[in-house]
C-alpha cells in the first residue's frame, strides 16, 4: 500500500529530489507558500480535496500541494473555476503575510491563474460584461509541414474590455484567498510547522490541522521510504483532470 | 431499419462511448443542456426539425441534439441563421436556469455562434450598420508549398463597429433563446426526465413532450442495440448541410 | 451555331449541373436574384450588354447573369466601374424586395463589390477625398522560393478615411441599384417568371421583357441541348475583360 | 540610323504590339493621356527632354512618353523630383479635362508618384515637417536562404504626419500639372491630333507643337519600319537613371 | 589556493585580456563605472557580497564587478530584485558624477535592468498597479522544425500601464543608486584610485575602503599570476544564480 | 610611404573609380557636400580628426570625408555621439546653402544619423525624457536554420515619446551644424575650390584652409599615383571604430 502511494506520488507530483539542499529561509518560505495553497483549497467547497502537501523539491518545483478529484470530470462549473483561481493565489499571499516578502516562485501560479481567467472571459462565456461569445481567435496551425497563421482581429476597444474583465476576476479571487488566509492564520502556522518538521503531510493530518487538532506524526513506513534510493528525474505532470490542482511553488 | 438508423447515427453523431462513466451531476447537466438545444430548435420555425436527442457520450461530445434538414440546402436566409444561433445558446441557458451553473461545456457552442455572427456581419452583408460589403479580409494561402500571408488592413474604428454588431446579434439571439426556455420550463423538465431515463429520444417522443403528452417508451430493438459490441472511435462531423445543427455539449 | 453557343456558355459560365435538384424556394430566390442583376445591368448604360441569364446551376453558382463586352477593353472608366458595382448589388436587392429575405448567396457579389470599391479608392485614384495616390501597399512576393513580406504602414487616421470612402461608394451604388429595381418591379417579375419557366433566357428575350413585350419561347434546339450528356466539371472563370460581368448568385 | 533608333526604342520602351486592336475610344484616351505627360514634361524645366511620344501599345503599356536625360545622373535634386511627380499626373489630368473621364490606366502613374513622394518624406529628408531623418524602416532581408523580417516601429502619431506630408506633396504637384495643362489646352489638342494621325512623334515634332508651329509629317523610313516583322515580347524597363521618365498610360 | 582563485575568476568573469591597450580616459571611466557598481552593491543589504572588482578587460567586458551569493538560491524576493536593479545603475551614475559624461558602455546594464523590471511587472506579479497576473505572452516555439508564433494580444491601454510601471521601477531604483553614490563619493574615489593602481581588488580591500581604512596592497602571488601565459578566450557567463551580479561596463 | 597611404585609403574608403565621368554640376555639389562634412568635423572638438577629403568616386560613394581616431576606442561618450550626428548633417546643409538645392545623395547620412539618435534614446539611456532603460526590443534570431521572431510590444504612447526624442536630437544637431557652416562660409568655399582643383586634400591642407592660409598643392607622388592602373572594386567599410566617420555623399 505504501509502495502504491509512493508510485502515485511519483507519477502525480514528480520524483523527489532529496539531494537538493535548500537554504533555511527558502525552505520556510516554501512551507508557508504550500500551506497557503492547501488552506485555501481546503476551505473552498468546490475545489478538489487536498490529498497531500509536501516541501520536498520535486522536479523544478520546490514544493507541491496535491489535490485529487473524487470522481472523473468532463466539464467545469464557473464556481469551481473561480475557486481554483483563488487556490492558485494562496501561495503568494501566505508569503506576503507570514514572510513579509514576494518571491519569483509564484510566477507559475500567476501564469495559470491568468490563463484560466482569460479563458473564462474569451472562450467559456463566463463574463457578463463580454457575454456568451468567443474573442480574439488566433489560430496557428501547422498544415502539411508549413506554418499557417490566421489572425482574426479584435478591436482595441474590445481588447480593453477583455483586459479589464480578466483583471476583475483576478482581483476578486485574490481578495477571497487573502480573506481566507487572514482568517485562518493559526491553521497556516500549524501546517507550516508540521511541514517544516515532517516535510510531507497527508489528508488526515491536514484535516486535523484544519479542525484545530494536533496532527498525528507521519507513519513509520513513510520515514522508511526516505531510505529508498534517491532518484532525480524530470517532473511529470499531474494526472488530475482539474489541471492546476497540484500547486508548484 | 434499426440497423440503418444506427448506422446513420454513427455517421452523423459519432460512435457511442457507453464505456464512459459520467458523474451523475454531469449527466444531469448534459440532459438539461441538450434539452435546451432541442426545445429552442423545436420552437423556432426556420431551423431544421430535431431528429434525435441523446446524452450518450459520442466522440468528444457528452451529448448530441441532431437536427436534420428536410431537403438539400444551397444557401441560408438571415432568419434561418439567426434562429440557428439561438439554438446554439439553448444549452448554456438551460444549465443556468435549471442547474444554476455555467460550465465549460458550452465553449464549442459559443465558438460556432460567434463565428456565424461574424460572417453575417463581415461576409454576408446581413448587418444594416455595416452594410452590404466585406470586412477584414485576411487571406493566408499556401501556394506552391510556401505560406503567403496577405493582410488587408481595416481601421480600428471599423473593427469597433464590427465587434459591436457581432455582440448585438449574439445578445439578441441569446435573449430570444432565454425567453423561449423560460416560457417552456415544463417541456425542458419533461425532456430531461426522459433523457435521464432512456438516454436517447427520437423525433416522435420529442413531439409528444412538446405537445404535453407523455412520450412513448423507447422501441425494444433500441434497447437490444445496447447489447452490440462497444466501439470507441473518433467522432465524425455531422452530415447536415446546415452546420451547427448537431449540438455538442 | 447552337453548338458554338453551348461551347461559349460552358467556357464563360461553367458546365451546367442539371443533376442538382434545387428546392423550389431556392430556385425562385435564384430567379429573382439573377433578374435583379440583369435588370440593373440592362438599365445602366455603361455596363456591358446582358447576353444571357440562367438559373441552371453551373459549377458552384446557382445561377448566372452573363454580360459580354461589345469590344476589347484595356482600361475602365470610373462611371463604368461604379455601374458595375451597382449591378453586383442587384441580386441581393431583388431577394430583399421580392422574397423578403437575405441569403448567404450574395456573399461573392459583396466580396467583388468591396474589392472593386477598395481599388477605386486605394489604387485607381478615383476618390476625391483620398486623391490621386496609392494607399496601403502590402506586397507579398515569392522570391526564389522564399516568401518575402513587405508592409508599408498606413496610419489609422488614413485607414479610417479609406474605410469611409469605400463605404460611401458601396452605399451610393447600392441605393442606385435599389432605386432601379423598385422602379422596374414589373420587369423583374416578368423575367423571374420566364426564368422559372424556361431556366435560361437570351438577350432577345431580355430585350422583349425590358420593353414590356412578351418574350418569345426558347428555340427548339435549346430544349434538344438539354438531352445532351450531363457534365459536372469545375467552373471556369468568365472570359470577359470586365471581370465581374457574370454574376454568380 | 533608323535601325539604331528602333533598337533604342525597343530597349527603352518595349517592343511594339501592332497586332493589338484598340477600340477608338481608348486609343483617343491614350493619345490625350500621353499628350498630358509630354506637355507637362516639356514645360517643366528640370525634367528630362521629351524624346518621343507614342500610342502604339508596347508590352503592357498602351502608350509611352519617353524622356531621355542629357547626361549621366548620380543623384536627384528636390525640384527635379517634384517636377517628375507632376509629369506623372499629366496623363490622368488630360483624361479628365479632354475626355471627361477617369480610367484605371493611370494606376501605375499613381503608384510611382506615391512611392516617390514617400521616399522624399521618409528617406531623402526633403520635407520640412518631418525633417532630415529616416522613418519607418522595414527591412526584409533574405539571409542564407531564410527570410528575416525586422520591424522598426514608428508611432501612429508619426505615421499620420508622414501620410499628411505625402498627401501635401501629391496635391501640390497635381495642382501644378493641372494648371499647366489648362493653360496649354491647344498644345494638348494639337499633340493628340498628331498622335492619332501618326501614332508616334519625335522631339522635333513635339517642339513644333509646343511652339505653335505645324509639326512636319513623320520621316518616310519610319513608315517603312512599320513594315518590319511584328514582334510581341515582354516590355523592358527604361534605361533612364531618372526612373519615371517613360510614362506608361 | 591562488590557482583555484584564478580558475574561478576565469570561469565566472571570463579570461583576462591583458593584451588590450585601453586609452587612459576609458580606463579611468571604467574604474569609476565598476566602483559605482561595487559601492552600491556593498551598501544594499539584500544583494550578494562583492567578491572582486577588476578593470582588466575580460571577453567583451572592459571591467567586472563580481558578486557571489553566500548560499544556493531558488527564488528571489522583491527587495533583492529591486536592489539588484539599483546595482546595475551604479556604473552609469558614477560616470556621470565623476567623469561628467555618459558612455555607451552602460547599454548592457540598462538592457538587464529593463528586462528585470519588465519581468517584475509582467511575470512575477510584483507591481501593485498591474496586480498578480501575467501580461503580454508572446510565445515563439520551434516545434518539429517549424517556427510557430502565437500572439496573445494585450490592449494598448494595458501596455501603457505596463510601460509606466516599468519606468517607475527604473526611476526609483536609479534615484536610490544615485543617492547612495552621492553620499559615498569618498568611497568611490578611493576605490577608483585602488583600481587604477592595482587593476583588481578583492573583498577584503573593498571592505577596508568602505570602512574608510586604507586597503592593503595586493598579495604577491597575484602579481606573479600576471606573468602566466596570456589567454584570450570568449567570456563565460557568471555562475551566480542571481544573474546580473557580475556587472559588465 | 605613399604606397602605404594608397593602400590605407583603398581599405578605408574603397577603390577609386576614376573612370566615372561626373556631370560638372554634380561634381560641384559633391565638393560642397564633402566640405560641409569636413568643416563641421574639424570644428567640433570631440569628433575624430579629418584625415582626408576626396571627390573621387569610390565604390557607390561620390565622395568621401575620412576621419581617423587618434587611439583605439571602446565606448563613446554622449557628446562625441551628438557631434558625430552634426557631422553627418554637414553635407546636406552645405548643398542647401551653397548650391541652393537638396539632393537624394544625403539619404545615407540621414539613415545613419537617425539610427544613431534612435540608439541614444532606446539603447544607451542618453535621453532624460526616456530615462536609463531600453525600449522596443525586436529580436529576430536565426536559430538552427529557422527564423524565430520575438516582438516585445511597446505602447503607442511610449513610441510617440521615443519618436519625439529622436526628432529633438536630430533637430538640435542639425541646427548646430547649420550654425557652424554659416559662420564658416569662407572655409567651405576655399575647401570646395581646392577639391574641385585637386580632387583630394589631406589633413595638412585642411588645416591650412581652416586657418585661412592657402593650402599647399598636392605632393608630386600623389599625381604619379594617378598613373597607376585603375581599379574598380566594391567598396570596403571604414576601419574606424567610430563608425560614421567616413562620410559618403
pLDDT tens digits for range B150-174: 445 689 999 999 999 999 999 999 9
Strand order across the D50-54 sheet: D200-202, D50-54, D64-67, D247-248
Chain C residues touching B158 at Cβ < 8 A: 160, 163
Q: For position B17, what pLDDT does the model report?
A: 77
pLDDT of C112 over the 70 cut: yes
Return the bridge partners of C248, or none: C64
CA distances from E5 to E2, E52, E201 (A): 5, 11, 13
Neighbouring C-beta atoms of residue C183, cutoff 10 Å: 11
Which of F71, F133, F148 is opposite residue E147, by nearest beta carbon? Answer: F148
pLDDT tens digits for range D150-165: 445 689 999 999 999 9
What is the rounded CA–CA span in Å between residue E22 and residue F108?
Answer: 32
What whole-number percentage of chain F has pLDDT above 70? 80
Calculate the CA D150 to chain-centre distance. 33
- Report residue B149 as a C-alpha cell: 500571408
Return the higher-pLDDT residue of E173 and E226. Answer: E173
Q: Using beta carbons and an 8 Å cutoff, which residues of E are at the interface with F?
A: 21-23, 26, 29, 62, 89, 92, 101-107, 110-111, 113-115, 117-118, 136, 138, 140, 142, 145-147, 149, 151, 154, 156, 159-160, 162-163, 166-167, 170-171, 174, 249
Neighbouring C-beta atoms of residue E203, cutoff 10 Å: 17
pLDDT of E142 over the 90 cut: no
Under DSSP, is residue F65 helix (H, G, I), strand (E, B) or coil?
Answer: strand
| Average pLDDT taken over every residue of chain A | 83
Domain positions in chain E: 2-128+169-248
- Topology of the domain covering C2-108+183-248: Methane Monooxygenase Hydroxylase; Chain G, domain 1 (1.20.58)
pLDDT band of residue E152 (cuts 50, 70, 90) is low
pLDDT band of residue C225 (cuts 50, 70, 90) is very low
Mean pLDDT for A139-161 is: 61
- Report residue B45 as a C-alpha cell: 420555425
Mean pLDDT for A214-235 is: 54
pLDDT of F238 over the 80 cut: no
Which of F103, F105, F140 is opposite residue D148, by nearest beta carbon? Answer: F140
Query: F124 vs E146: CB contact, 8 Å cut-off?
Result: no
Q: For position B15, what pLDDT does the model report?
A: 78
| Average pLDDT taken over every residue of chain C | 83
Chain B residues touching A148 at Cβ < 8 A: 140, 142, 147
Mean pLDDT for B36-53 is: 97
- Report residue C120 as a C-alpha cell: 477605386
Q: For position C220, what pLDDT does the model report?
A: 64
SS (H, E, C) chain D: CHHHHHHHHHHHHCCECCCCCCCHHHHHHHHHHHHHHHHHHHHCCCCCCEEEEECCCECCECCEEEECCCCCCCCCEHHHHHHHHHHHHHHHHHHHHHHCCCEHHHHHHHHHHHHHHHHHHHCCCCCCCCCCCCCCCEEEEEECCEEEEEECCCCHHHHHHHHHHHHHHHHHHHHHHHHHHHHCHHHHHHHHHHHHHHCEEEHHHHHHHHCCCCCCCCCHHHHHHCCCCCCCCCCCCCCCCCCCCCEEC
Q: For position C205, what pLDDT does the model report?
A: 97
Which of A133, A152, A156 is opposite residue B113, by nearest beta carbon? Answer: A133
What is the rounded CA–CA span in Å between residue E223 and residue C241?
Answer: 88
Q: DSSP readout, B64-125?
A: EEEE--SS--SS-BHHHHHHHHHHHHHHHHHIIIIIS--BGGGHHHHHHHHHHHHHHHHTS-
For chain E, give the number of residues: 249
What CATH class does E2-128+169-248 carry? mainly alpha
pLDDT tens digits for range B181-195: 999 999 999 999 999
Chain F residues touching E101 at Cβ < 8 A: 77-79
Chains E and F touch (3+ CB pairs under 8 A): yes
Q: For position E9, what pLDDT does the model report?
A: 74
Q: Which of B121-125, D32-36, D153-157 has the lowest mean pLDDT?
A: D153-157
Query: Helices B156-183 and B24-43: crossing angle, nearest 10°?
Result: 100
pLDDT of B114 over the 80 cut: yes
Which of A124, A151, A154 is opposite residue B163, by nearest beta carbon? Answer: A154
Q: Which of A91-100, A190-199, C56-65 has the lowest mean pLDDT?
A: C56-65
For residue F61, give the nearest of F179, F234, F223, F200 by alpha carbon: F234
| Average pLDDT taken over every residue of chain B | 83
pLDDT tens digits for range D41-80: 999 999 999 999 999 998 878 999 999 998 888 899 999 9
Q: Using beta carbons and an 8 Å cutoff, which residues of C are at the interface with B?
A: 21-23, 26, 29, 57, 62, 89, 92, 101-107, 110-111, 113-115, 117-118, 136, 138, 140, 142, 145-147, 149, 151, 154, 156, 159-160, 162-163, 166-167, 170-171, 174, 249
Which position among A2, A5, A16, A34 bears the catalytic label? Answer: A34
Query: E142 vs F147: CB contact, 8 Å cut-off?
Result: no
Mean pLDDT for E187-215 is: 97
By C-alpha distance, the chain A residue nearest E242 is: A104
- Which string of b and e fits C79-118 if b means at least 16 CB within 10 Å? ebbbbbbbbbbbbbbbbbebbebbbbbbbbbbbbbbbbbb
Do the beta carbons of residue D200 and residue D219 sit within 8 Å? no
- Report residue E131 as a C-alpha cell: 496586480
pLDDT tens digits for range A37-58: 999 999 999 999 999 999 999 8
| Average pLDDT taken over every residue of chain D | 83
Q: For position B220, what pLDDT does the model report?
A: 64
Scan for cell 556631370, then name that residue. Answer: F23
pLDDT band of residue C242 (cuts 50, 70, 90) is very low
pLDDT of A168 over the 50 cut: yes
Predicted complex: ipTM over 0.95: no
Which of D101, D103, D140 is opposite residue C148, by nearest beta carbon? Answer: D140
Q: For position C222, what pLDDT does the model report?
A: 47
For chain D, give the number of residues: 249
Chosen CATH of F2-128+158-248 out of 3.40.640.10, 2.70.98.10, 1.20.58.760, 2.40.160.40: 1.20.58.760
Q: DSSP readout, chain A?
A: -HHHHHHHHHHHH--B-TT----HHHHHHHHHHHHHHHHHHHHSTTSPPEEEEE-S-BTTBS-EEEE--SS--SS-BHHHHHHHHHHHHHHHHHIIIIIS--BGGGHHHHHHHHHHHHHHHHTS---TTT-SS----EEEEEETTEEEEEE----HHHHHHHHHHHHHHHHHHHHHHHHHHHHTHHHHHHHHHHHHHHSEEEHHHHHHHHTTPPPPPPPHHHHHHTTSPP----------SSTT-SEE-
Q: For position B117, what pLDDT does the model report?
A: 97
Mean pLDDT for D90-115 is: 96
Q: Using beta carbons and an 8 Å cutoff, which residues of A are at the interface with E?
A: 21-23, 26, 29, 62, 89, 92, 101-107, 110-111, 113-115, 117-118, 136, 138, 140, 142, 145-147, 149, 151, 154, 156, 159-160, 162-163, 166-167, 170-171, 174, 249
pLDDT tens digits for range B235-244: 323 333 222 3
Mean pLDDT for B202-219 is: 95
Q: For position A226, what pLDDT does the model report?
A: 40
pLDDT band of residue F21 (cuts 50, 70, 90) is confident
- Contacts across the A-E interface (CB distance below 8 Å): 105
Under DSSP, is residue E193 helix (H, G, I), strand (E, B) or coil?
Answer: helix
Return the higher-pLDDT residue of F43 and E74. Answer: F43
Which position among F5, F26, F34, F211 bears the catalytic label? Answer: F34
Q: For position B215, what pLDDT does the model report?
A: 96
Scan for cell 517642339, then name that residue. Answer: D207
Chain B residues touching C110 at Cβ < 8 A: 123-125, 132-134
Return the higher-pLDDT residue of A57 and E136. Answer: A57
Chains F and B touch (3+ CB pairs under 8 A): no
Mean pLDDT for E66-95 is: 95
End-to-end CA distance of chain B: 28
The CATH superfamily of B2-248 is Peptidase M41 (1.20.58.760)
Q: Is F165 a catalytic residue?
A: no
What's the angle, vertex CA B122, arms to CA B120 and CA B128, rounded to 5? 65
Q: For position D136, what pLDDT does the model report?
A: 76
Which of A134, A147, A153 is opposite residue B110, by nearest beta carbon? Answer: A134
Query: D78 vs F103: CB contact, 8 Å cut-off?
Result: yes
Return the higher-pLDDT residue of C90 and B14. Answer: C90
pLDDT tens digits for range A207-216: 999 999 999 9
Do the beta carbons of residue D62 and residue D249 sit within 8 Å? yes
Return the higher-pLDDT residue of A146 and C42. Answer: C42
Q: For position C221, what pLDDT does the model report?
A: 54
Scan for cell 442547474, then name that residue. Answer: B99
Q: For position F231, what pLDDT does the model report?
A: 36
Tell me the shortest Cα–Cα distance from A67 to chain E, in angstroms.
22
Return the higher-pLDDT residue of A158 and B139. Answer: A158
For residue C91, give the nearest of C80, C82, C103, C78 by alpha carbon: C103
pLDDT band of residue B20 (cuts 50, 70, 90) is confident
Q: For position B152, what pLDDT does the model report?
A: 53
CA distances from C160 to B156, C134, C163, D153, E111 (A): 8, 15, 5, 20, 37
| Average pLDDT taken over every residue of chain E | 83
pLDDT of F245 over the 50 cut: no
Calculate the CA F145 to chain-centre distance. 36
Which of F113, F138, F174 is opposite residue D151, by nearest beta carbon? Answer: F138
Residues 6+ apart with CB under 8 A from C52: C9, C13, C64, C65, C66, C200, C201, C202, C203
Q: For position B233, what pLDDT does the model report?
A: 34
Query: A149 vs E149: CB contact, 8 Å cut-off?
Result: yes
What is the rounded CA–CA span in Å between residue E60 and residue E17?
Answer: 9
pLDDT of C244 over the 70 cut: no
For residue B245, give the nearest of B78, B10, B43, B85 by alpha carbon: B85
Chain E residues touching F135 at Cβ < 8 A: 114
pLDDT tens digits for range C126-153: 999 999 999 975 444 433 343 434 445 6
pLDDT tens digits for range F127-136: 999 999 999 7
For the whole model, what pTM was predicted?
A: 0.86
By C-alpha distance, the chain B residue nearest C173 is: B132
Amino acid at each position: 500500500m505504501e509502495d502504491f502511494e509512493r508510485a502515485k506520488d511519483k507519477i502525480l507530483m514528480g520524483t523527489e529530489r532529496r539531494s537538493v539542499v535548500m537554504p533555511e529561509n527558502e525552505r520556510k518560505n516554501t512551507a508557508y507558500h504550500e500551506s497557503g495553497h492547501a488552506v485555501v483549497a481546503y476551505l473552498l467547497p468546490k475545489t478538489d480535496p487536498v490529498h497531500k502537501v509536501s516541501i520536498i523539491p520535486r522536479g523544478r518545483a520546490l514544493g507541491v500541494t496535491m489535490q485529487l478529484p473524487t470522481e472523473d470530470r468532463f466539464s467545469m462549473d464557473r464556481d469551481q473555476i473561480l475557486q481554483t483561481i483563488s487556490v492558485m493565489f494562496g501561495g503568494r499571499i501566505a508569503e506576503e503575510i507570514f514572510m513579509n516578502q514576494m518571491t519569483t516562485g509564484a510566477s507559475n501560479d500567476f501564469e495559470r491563474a491568468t490563463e484560466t481567467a482569460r479563458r473564462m472571459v474569451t472562450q467559456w462565456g463566463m463574463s457578463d460584461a463580454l457575454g456568451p461569445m468567443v474573442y480574439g481567435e488566433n489560430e496557428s496551425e501547422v498544415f502539411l509541414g508549413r506554418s499557417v497563421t490566421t489572425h482574426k482581429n479584435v478591436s482595441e476597444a474590445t481588447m480593453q474590455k477583455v483586459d479589464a474583465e480578466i483583471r476583475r476576476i483576478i482581483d476578486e479571487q485574490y481578495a477571497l484567498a487573502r480573506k481566507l488566509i487572514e482568517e485562518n492564520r493559526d491553521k497556516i502556522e500549524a501546517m507550516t510547522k508540521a511541514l517544516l518538521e515532517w516535510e510531507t503531510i497527508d489528508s488526515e493530518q491536514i484535516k486535523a490541522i484544519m479542525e484545530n487538532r494536533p496532527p498525528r506524526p507521519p507513519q513509520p513506513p513513510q520515514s522508511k521510504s526516505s531510505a529508498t534510493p534517491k532518484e532525480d528525474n524530470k517532473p511529470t505532470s499531474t494526472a488530475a483532470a482539474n489541471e492546476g490542482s497540484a500547486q508548484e511553488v
